[in-house]
Amino acid sequence: MSAQRATEWSAAPGSTETIAVGLGQLHVTRAGELVAYSLGSCVAICLYDPVLRVAGMAHVVLPSAPASDSGASPGKYADTAVPALLGALRAAGAMPLRLRCHLVGGAAVLALAGGALPDIGARNVEAVRVALERARIAIAGEATGGRQGRTVRLEAATGRVRVRAVLGPEVEL
């Protein structure tokens, strides 16, 4: 099943399936666990409706879509990922007013010898925040910034969000 097709779903409730949400992808599920591995400058948007127990995640790569983008990967850009993920969650019956939101990633992990590249991580985090504010979605917790990559897990049954930084312990947000 394609994680980029926001209207597609994973296994039935009660499943322990792990669904990897790759670069530029988004996925909605009622079962199992959504995982974004090795987030560096990318940002994972984790949304959860605790009443319907439906979870959604987008793996944002860049702050904004170029005018030439065909819209084939709405999860790739902050400005398109938020509306696409909200639309997929609404299609699953979720109500935006109930959604709990967590953000993970946005680290400054890219550097050149003698100088730094533009801080894409910080720009991604800011663009996601702006898009969430436009959608009137409050952020309940986050693990963003810094210089280390992270992996995030979102459990569909509970809404539990766990984060592990490189060489660090796993913590719950």
Of 35, 61, 57, nearest in space to 125 by CA: 61
What is the rounded distance in angstroms from the CA atom of residue 6 to the CA atom of residue 64? 19
Torsion angle, alpha carbons of 12, 13, 15, 19, to 10 = 70
Of 65, 53, 76, nearest in space to 159 by CA: 53
Is residue 101 part of the annotated active site? The answer reads no
What is the rounded distance in angstroms from the CA atom of residue 5 to the CA atom of residue 97? 23
The DSSP symbol for 165 reads: E
What is the rounded distance in angstroms from the CA atom of residue 11 to the CA atom of residue 32? 8
Q: Which one of the listed residues 39, 42, 61, 99 is annotated catalytic?
A: 42
- CA–chain centroid gap for 169, Å, is 20
- CA–chain centroid gap for 91, Å, is 18
Q: Give the residue numbers annotated as catalytic, written as ranges.
A: 42
